[in-house]
Amino acid sequence: MSESLRSGDLWVEVLVDSPAAEKLYTYALPADISVQPGDILTVNFGAAQVGAIAIRCLDQPPPDLDSVKIRPILDRVSSGFFPPGYWELLQRVADYYHTSLMQAIRVALPPGLLQRSQRRIRLTVQNLSPEAIAELSLAAQQLLHLLQGNASGDYAWKYLQQKHKQAQRGLRELCQRGWVESYLQPVTTVKPKIQQAVTLLTLPDQELSPRQSQILELLQQRGGELWLQDLLQAAHTSVSTLRTLENKGYLAIASQQRLRLETGVNASSDLPQTLTAAQQKALDTIQSLQGYQQVLLHGVTGSGKTEVYLQAIAPILAKGKSALVLVPEIGLTPQLSDRCRARFGQNVCVYHSALSEGERYDTWRQLLAGDPQVIIGTRSAIFAPLPHLGLIILDEEHDAGFKQEHPAPSYHARTVAAWRAELTPCPLILGSATPSLESWSRRQEPGLAVAARKSDPHYLHLPERIHAQPLPPISVIDMRQELAAGNRSMFSRQLGTALEELAAQKQQGILFIPRRGHSTFVSCRSCGYVADCPNCSVSLTYHFTPATSHPRLRCHYCNYTRPHPNQCPDCQSPYFKYFGSGTQRVIEALGLEFPQLRLLRFDSDTTRTKGSHRQLLDRFAHAEADLMVGTQMLTKGIDLPQVTLVGVLSADSLLNFPDFRAGERTFQTLTQVAGRAGRGDQPGQVILQTYSPDHPVIQAVSQYEFEAFLATELEQRIALHYPPAGQLIVLRLSGLDGDRTEATAELLAELLRVRIHQSETLVELLGPAPANILRVAQHYRWQILLKLPPNPKTASFELPVAELRALCPSSIRFSIDVDPLTLL
DNA sequence: AGCACGCCGACT
DNA sequence: GTCGGCGTGCTC
């Protein structure tokens, strides 16, 4: 036996990116690759190539493993970019939310970093006779037709599967005839984008023609370096002209890496504003923080929280550190990223799921560089691998968008942010006009600071708007009285008057509808039949788009659609119509009653495409419309100074939502939307329509009684052991077979009852119960609710996750939601 | 996720 | 008797 030619480890234990494989696998290390823990690798796993993460290096293979099974590592994708504490953060996420480390890694890393090989299908024959095709099954014919529609006859298998339910059957048939073949395309890593760049070397002189001098001068004006394609366009010249200049030694043309970063519009520069006394006090407190501390910045709408954030970030950047700003939905806050860029220049990155794979990859690389920068992102940005993190800000911390639903881990960015700030360590600012009950109840009262726990947030209040603007008065309109007075319109007389004045006085308004689509449901007024989805137990929604000319019904859960029948399918009555008032219906009614108003629709249907939020907001800002009509999206962080009127049509559907947080949500939503009014020079007003004007939530909103409202809400939560007084965990099961899903749920519940009994804790088990909407996309859903009251004993209760999973057959999906935001 | 293996029903 | 359906288990 010859001695090994190199010292060190020859085997690596890795975590493989495969759904079922959660244990470590051992791979051999080829001589030309070196690996350290944390590196991202590519390995063969079964038939496929998949991504893997090196966990541990070994100097000898595990004795219980047959050495012939060991395969070599194929490639090292990237090395050494996890900041200290990063693995501990991911491990905490995995532990707290009861998922595997691999699943935590999957949500943290950008998709594409852990690449997997792709199964593709390729057509291998041409000119098939129609007779031969006719012999095939329908499934095979459809598949063949799809493949023939593409010039190369080559598709990803996943794409074909989603295109045709029967693709599997068709594929087998075509493979047997040898007409198609299926192959594995190896891992293709995202590559840096390379482009030609032109650099100015020498200034023009007498030797050159006027045209050549002109080009060099242009290049000099633009900073001496430009991308080739940009220069060609700007100078209206050709590559050959530039080559001549290159040969004469005036400029250089070379390939350079171009980072695909979302840069946005180049805003004019923005200078720090003078702070109000309350803002200054808040900023002073934030700047006095050392290490890990939390701050709850409670600033009413229009109180200038953003300015406090920006001035808190500035010294962090000056110290050479980075700041992370999390927002609930990136599309809703173009103003924030514009303002950050205007204040801090180019070192502002935007990171969210709507970026393309290339953009994400490049943004990720930019983060790793470690230069001081500001990262604005949605919840997953809390995992951005910043080496020198100095501050984390969660804006609109009450927003439900910070909670991930799917896939597991179902984490809350606020919870993870607290861990990240603790591990880094650095301060964490939670900002909101309507703080969550969770954060508000943990706040340190100034007088109690000594007794408080270190992790509890300092409470900083900005009770007034900047420039001494008043909060807009809120008028509550009783819609029952409107009806009694003979007003059958969906607009009260007071709202009608306000809308008429709006156009007359050239002001702008917002009309908020707490719903989506044309209406809630379609029903027959003769027999009561309700059109609902054949897949999900949920009523269909009426949609009318001029493009399709005929109205359609749509399921908002599984997207099933059908044409709207003219008569009731059950009793043939012609009185088969929609109820309620969705955005479209309101727009129609507005058009009839207030034809002079120019309208803009702002909801999930009109803001679906990339950049459409910004476009709509820009059009509104340029006074292309008088009234913006829309849903939930209108409530979030948009700052439109010219808005004087905010109208809310029926607050009731929010109030009556079946959830223990409905009151808190309604308060937050209504307060936020009211806050859109009167942010400029002109005073605002809010008109709130409801059928239950005496409801405590409506009363609290109309009087801006935040503290009193939350205190009452907290009492109720304590009485019922709902968060923040106690913890909730929901176990969710779903499967195609309803009986089997129910039986499995019973089985899990039984195991849990035994374990709870054995643990002698006060954990309460509710259910199993069918989910409120039992069937979604043909899957039956059941859930088990665990309530852990605030008691030292319940904290010791451990969920027997492995046993629960073992009881679940593979045909039933099982997920655990720790701290669920909704119990639907 | 794929893919192999293995056990039941419908057909030559 | 075989073919082919898909339910269960493994991948260093």
Cβ-Cβ contacts under 8 Å for A674 (sequence gap 6 or more): A301, A471, A472, A474, A646, A648, A686, A688, A701
Q: Identify the residue with better confidence: A168 or A407.
A: A407
Q: Is the CB of residue A736 inside 7 Å of nucleic acid strand C?
A: no
Q: Is A754 helix (H, G, I), strand (E, B) or coil?
A: helix
Tokens standing for residue A768: 């199993």
Round and report the angstrom distance from CA (A804) to C1' (C3): 39
Distance in angstroms (rounded) separating the CA atoms of residues A207 and A218: 18
Distance in angstroms (rounded) separating the CA atoms of residues A481 and A492: 10
Round and report the angstrom distance from CA (A100) to C1' (C9): 20
Round and report the angstrom distance from CA (A405) to C1' (B5): 36
Residue A119, CA: closest nucleotide via C1'?
A: B2
Residue A168, CA: closest nucleotide via C1'?
A: C6
Q: Nearest Cα to A703, choosing from A727, A721, A686, A722?
A: A686
Cβ-Cβ contacts under 8 Å for A238 (sequence gap 6 or more): A232
Residue A27, CA: closest nucleotide via C1'?
A: C12
Round and report the angstrom distance from CA (A177) to C1' (B11): 21
pLDDT in tens, A590-644: 999 999 999 988 876 776 666 777 788 888 888 899 999 988 877 776 778 889 9
Q: Is the CB of residue A46 inside 7 Å of nucleic acid strand C?
A: yes
Q: Nearest Cα to A655, choosing from A619, A687, A695, A683?
A: A695
Residue A20, CA: closest nucleotide via C1'?
A: B1
Round and report the angstrom distance from CA (A143) to C1' (C9): 30
pLDDT at A448: 52
Q: Is the CB of residue A809 inside 7 Å of nucleic acid strand C?
A: yes
* pLDDT over threshold 90, residue A382: yes
Cβ-Cβ contacts under 8 Å for A25 (sequence gap 6 or more): A13, A14, A16, A43, A45, A52
Cα separations (Å) of A335 from A330, A331, A398, A615? 10, 10, 20, 12
* Mean pLDDT computed over A197-222: 85
In the β-sheet with A193-200, what is the strand arrangement from edge to edge? A225-227, A193-200, A251-258
- State residue A456 phi and psi, 5-degree precision: -75, 145
Round and report the angstrom distance from CA (A180) to C1' (C1): 31
Residue A137, CA: closest nucleotide via C1'?
A: C4
Q: Is the CB of residue A162 inside 7 Å of nucleic acid strand C?
A: no
Q: Is A354 helix (H, G, I), strand (E, B) or coil?
A: coil
pLDDT at A645: 94
Q: Of the ranges A112-116, A249-253, A261-265, which one carries the lowest mean pLDDT score?
A: A261-265
Distance in angstroms (rounded) separating the CA atoms of residues A772 and A659: 11
Which sign does the torsion angle of CA A334, A338, A343, A348 carry?
Answer: positive
pLDDT at A20: 73
Q: What angle do CA A498, A503, A504 make, to 5 degrees?
A: 90
pLDDT in tens, A494-534: 999 999 998 888 899 999 988 654 556 777 777 778 788 87
What is the pairing mode between strands A458-462 and A11-16? unpaired
Tokens standing for residue A632: 């939930």
Cα separations (Å) of A691 from A203, A481, A645, A654, A694? 75, 9, 21, 12, 9
**What proportion of chain A, given as a percentage, has pLDDT over 70?**
92
Q: Is the CB of residue A168 inside 7 Å of nucleic acid strand C?
A: yes
Cis? peptide before A425, omega within 30° of 0: yes
Q: In chain A, which residues from 53 to 112 place their CB closer than 7 Å to nucleic acid strand C?
A: 62, 65, 69-71
pLDDT at A548: 59
* pLDDT over threshold 80, residue A134: no
pLDDT at A646: 95
pLDDT at A264: 53
Q: Which nucleotides of B are covered by protein (CB under 7 A)?
A: 1-3
pLDDT at A89: 95
Q: Which nucleotides of C are covered by protein (CB under 7 A)?
A: 4-12
Round and report the angstrom distance from CA (A175) to C1' (B5): 20
* pLDDT over threshold 50, residue A129: yes
Round and report the angstrom distance from CA (A820) to C1' (B4): 40
Residue A810, CA: closest nucleotide via C1'?
A: C8
Round and report the angstrom distance from CA (A513) to C1' (C3): 60
pLDDT at A447: 56
Q: Is A367 helix (H, G, I), strand (E, B) or coil?
A: helix
Which sign does the torsion angle of CA A333, A334, A335, A340 carry?
Answer: positive
Strand B contacts (Cβ < 7 A) comprise: A 18-21, 46-48, 116, 118-119, 157-158, 182, 184
Amino acid at position A487, single letter: N
Round and report the angstrom distance from CA (A208) to C1' (B2): 65
Round and report the angstrom distance from CA (A181) to C1' (B11): 28
pLDDT in tens, A40-54: 899 999 888 998 999
Round and report the angstrom distance from CA (A147) to C1' (B8): 34
Residue A61, CA: closest nucleotide via C1'?
A: C12
Q: Is the CB of residue A11 inside 7 Å of nucleic acid strand C?
A: no
Q: Identify the residue with better confidence: A767 or A821.
A: A821
Rounded to a whole number, what is the distance in angstroms from the first to the last CA of chain A?
A: 66
Round and report the angstrom distance from CA (A671) to C1' (C11): 54
| Average pLDDT across chain A, whole number | 85
Round and report the angstrom distance from CA (A45) to C1' (B4): 15
Q: Is A443 helix (H, G, I), strand (E, B) or coil?
A: coil
Give the bridge partners for A181, in sequence order.
Answer: A122
* Mean pLDDT computed over A671-682: 90
Q: Identify the residue with better confidence: A73 or A366.
A: A73
Query: Which residue, counting CA atoms, is nearest to the C1' of nucleotide C8?
Result: A810
Residue A23, CA: closest nucleotide via C1'?
A: C12
Cα separations (Å) of A460 from A44, A299, A431, A519, A544? 54, 8, 9, 41, 47
Query: Which residue, counting CA atoms, is nearest to the C1' of nucleotide C11?
Result: A46
Q: Is the CB of residue A572 inside 7 Å of nucleic acid strand C?
A: no
Residue A21, CA: closest nucleotide via C1'?
A: C11
Three-state SS string over A145-174 comes to HHHHCCCCCEEEHHHHHHHCCCHHHHHHHH
Residue with tokens 């219980």: A64
* pLDDT over threshold 50, residue A5: no
